[in-house]
Structure 1
Amino acid sequence: MSIATRMQALQPTDLGIPGPTSLDMARAFRSVRADPLSFLTEVSEKYGDLVAFPVPGPPALLLNDPADVRHVLQTAARNWGKQTVQYAALARVTGPGLLASAEPNWIEHRRLAAPAFHHQRLAAVGDQVRAAADAAIAGLLEVDPGPGGRLVDVAALTHRIGLDAVGRALFSTDLSGHAQRLLDATSDAATLVVRLGRSVLPTAAWAPTPTNVRLRSTRRRLDAISADLIAQRRRRGGSSGSGHGDDLLGLLLDSELSDAEIRDELVTMVIAGHETVAAALAWTLMLLAEDQPAQDRARAELTGHAGPVSLMGHRETLPWTRAVVDESLRLFPPAWALSRRSQAADVIGGHAVPAGTLVIVSPWLVHRRGDAWPDPLGFRPERFLGASGTLPAYLPFGQGPRLCIGREFAIGEMVVVLSRLLTAYRVDVPDGWTRPPAETQVAVHPRGGMPLVISPLA
């Protein structure tokens, strides 16, 4: 039976909610897989803030109204869990770590990991993040670019910074010995997660499909790298009774988690920590390259800052730079789609929905609502000046109890990297510039990289 025939056979639950028919979905199948952001944009423009997709069994809904989103992610979060295809695919790589876990024990894991992201801890690792940025920038720009500048794929640069910063800040170690293996493994893992998450029909984990074979190989590589890191730390600390350190790895080793559970959290943090920050930084540099006055203002603010830029307190000390980061995360949120499944019946947008209902929330769409954001497609950092940080139509790191635990670290890392780059270099778009299209992987990346011109300041 063809994909189109199977799609046409689906009978959606009739809730009186508009949406594409099964025939519409069959016709759009290839474009959905190739460019899901455009598809979600088109259906929301056509059908409104609540869209029903034709699926067998419980309904599948796209939510776009900030009130409905807040209900699912925050107000009624206990009823809406992560038992979805998206997180099941991620868990096949990361295991049931903090990001992918659909089980109640995620609360305990979050409690154990939380001290590693405390404000005092983040303030203490600013030097390590600055060192990671400096090392990556120096390595990529080691050849004098000359007065005309040098064309650089800043997506590759930010990936290297992100991985190194995760190693230095979360594990208190330079991952240079593991960096390439870790980068290759996490890149493969991201590709597989996307492929599994977009499957029309679930595939048994034991089936010898090409994706499953690659997945098992990738997991073995991630297991080996994680085992090395855990073994190295156990040899270095813990014997004196003073613990294994106050970074994430040390805190996990001092907990009651098994090595297998620690592995899951490490892989989760490496994949989530470097993928999201790397993508967000690449888009931020693009926006600043396109808007030289905004870049000049950020440079002046960063240059005039007293002392090294820390990971914390940017709204007060670096308001424009922080607003640039917030606006970039609005336009290009790394997490382009979130999903939840209801454990009991609920009401969404005035419609009663049964237990098992799947909802999809796209920050990409919510962040582009004209009623919430004037000039929604424009790059306007000033809209975040004086903002409290809690906005109903703004969720680059989610909302509610499952709000990303690494949010402050990610934002702080972005500000620190911008401070190291912009105070020494100018970023421009090359001649004949066109924006690279957005590609939906684990995070939203620029397809084919992000080539920008980097020039040393006079």
Structure 2
Amino acid sequence: MMRDFWSIRADPLGFLCAARERYGDVVAFPVPGPPALLISDPVDVRRVLQTAARTWSKDTIQYRALARVTGPGLLASAEPDWIEHRRLAAPAFHHQRLDNLGLHVAEATDRMLATEVPLMRGPQIVDVADLSLRIALNVVGDAILSADLSEQAHRLLEASSAAARLVVRRGQSVLPERVPSALNRRLSSTRRRLDVLCLQLIETRRAAGSHGDDLLGLLIEGGLSDQAIRDELVTMVIAGHETAAAALAWTLMLLAEDQGAQDRVRNEVTRHAGPIPMTGTPAVLPWTRAVIDESLRLYPPAWVISRKSRQPDVIGGLDVPAGTVAIISPWVLHRRPDAWPSAERFHPQRFLDDPAPRSNYLPFGAGPRLCIGRDFALGEMTIVLSRILTRYRVEVPRHWSRPSPQADVAVRPSGGMPLQLTLLEAPQQ
């Protein structure tokens, strides 16, 4: 572990893949304290995330670091009351409400395309990673704070995004949190700023009398304390835009490399009559959804999941004590050659040939802690892709080389994702 310390920091994705390839489906890392296991067998993964989920909690370093910004929100909470918080937030993600948000997603995408992409007839190079981040930030703002898209709300969105990056940097630091380093001071300052912005928005909404039917309004109606509402707001902003933005950027890259797959998406979307729904896309746009599923297989934004055992259990036929940390990497699982023939190849057809759920496919987690925003994210990606591809042809520039994946809050392209966009002769409206 000491020998590999710098390679773990520089390329954690490569390190995890190499560990699984060399040592198998249960890898014990020699670290002080209770065992830390990388588990890659689908049976063991299902046990930790589903069948024995009550035995395995989120009380891990990964989620404690995230909680420094989000507080004990749905994503990071290891406490039993997360179930009650999920129940209160669930109406915001009901299929009927999500479908009503479809037009908001399309409008937010069109606004960003109009302001961020110049209307040039010739090809232009656009960093689609940055474009996707801006689109996703606007979309999640509409969903969470649709009744109050003020400058104050935009400051909250931007501050949450900045805070997420500070958390990643903090996780890479060897200095204890109590040391008043520049990074620790910035993180504390950002946390205080988020507190002020959230509480101001909550007070404004309470004073308005009508709480609204966006996520903020539903949380207020549910009777949560202001602090609990603040935690859920920040959680949803960070989880709702970082992952979607990264997934969109990688999907556009894969389609730029495969013009046949891109044309098939464009044709399918163009033939569809009426607005594209946020839910039910596998039946409405099967090829487009298969493209998204395959992109999430190759580039799962949530690249690692961790759990800690509350009591002794059995993993891979081995007795493990309470306090054992299980590390599960969708990035590794999605590249198992025995489960995914030609695993490194972009091949959306595999999801049409075999649409059955797979135990080793978990871009949104699994079990009771399955991402509450899964359907929102899938619908958002479908609509954003449709708005982009019916206006532009996306291609790789000359002298193209793929950006390296960077394990950040989500798996993002290192250095951005510059692709060539060419305005179509008759963009679809």
1:342 corresponds to which of 309, 320, 323: 309
8 Å Cα contact 2:36-2:325 kept in structure 1 = yes
Aligned to 1:144: 119
Aligned to 2:140: 166
Q: Name the amino acid aligned to 1:440.
A: A
2:27 corresponds to which of 30, 51, 63: 51
Q: Name the amino acid aligned to 1:224.
A: V
Q: How does 1:188-199 map onto structure 2 within 5 Å?
A: 188-199=162-173
Check if 1:286 corresponds to 2:253: yes
Q: How does 1:202-221 map onto structure 2 within 5 Å?
A: 203-204=176-177, 206-221=178-193
Where does structure 2 lack aligned partners over 5 or more consecutive residues?
A: none
* Residue 384 of structure 1: how far off its partner (Å): 0.9
Residue deviations 1:138-165 (CA, integer Å, cap 9, x gap): 1111x32223x11000011111111111
Distance 1:180 1:169 in 2: 13
2:238 corresponds to which of 271, 275, 291: 271
Q: How does 1:32-431 map onto structure 2 within 5 Å?
A: 32-141=8-117, 143-147=118-122, 149-173=123-147, 175=149, 177-178=151-152, 181-199=155-173, 203-204=176-177, 206-238=178-210, 244-385=211-352, 387-388=354-355, 390-431=357-398
Q: What is the total number of aligned residue pairs between the two structures?
A: 425
Structure 1 residues 75-84 or 207-216, which shifts more?
A: 207-216
Structure 2 SS opposite 1:62:
strand
Aligned to 1:11: none
Distance 2:32 2:232 in 1: 34
Structure-2-length-normalised TM-score: 0.96
Structure 1 SS opposite 2:27:
strand
* Residue 212 of structure 1: how far off its partner (Å): 1.8
Structure-1-length-normalised TM-score: 0.90
8 Å Cα contact 1:164-1:174 kept in structure 2 = no
Q: CA RMSD, aligned part only?
A: 1.5
8 Å Cα contact 2:147-2:214 kept in structure 1 = no
* Residue 45 of structure 1: how far off its partner (Å): 1.0
8 Å Cα contact 1:91-1:101 kept in structure 2 = yes
Where does structure 1 lack aligned partners over 5 or more consecutive residues?
A: 1-24, 239-243
Percent pairwise identity = 64
Distance 2:414 2:160 in 1: 17
Distance 1:165 1:386 in 2: 32
Q: Name the amino acid aligned to 2:13.
A: L
8 Å Cα contact 2:302-2:411 kept in structure 1 = yes
* Residue 132 of structure 1: how far off its partner (Å): 0.8
Aligned pair in 2 of structure 1 residues 333, 217: CA closer, same or farther (>3 Å)?
A: same
Distance 2:276 2:305 in 1: 32
* Residue 55 of structure 1: how far off its partner (Å): 1.2
8 Å Cα contact 1:164-1:175 kept in structure 2 = no
Distance 2:158 2:108 in 1: 19
Distance 1:387 1:248 in 2: 35
Distance 2:42 2:95 in 1: 29
Distance 2:201 2:389 in 1: 33
8 Å Cα contact 1:275-1:442 kept in structure 2 = yes
* Residue 380 of structure 1: how far off its partner (Å): 0.5
Distance 2:251 2:209 in 1: 39
Structure 1 SS opposite 2:2:
helix
8 Å Cα contact 1:50-1:61 kept in structure 2 = yes
8 Å Cα contact 1:132-1:161 kept in structure 2 = yes
* Residue 99 of structure 1: how far off its partner (Å): 0.1
8 Å Cα contact 1:82-1:339 kept in structure 2 = yes
8 Å Cα contact 2:152-2:201 kept in structure 1 = no
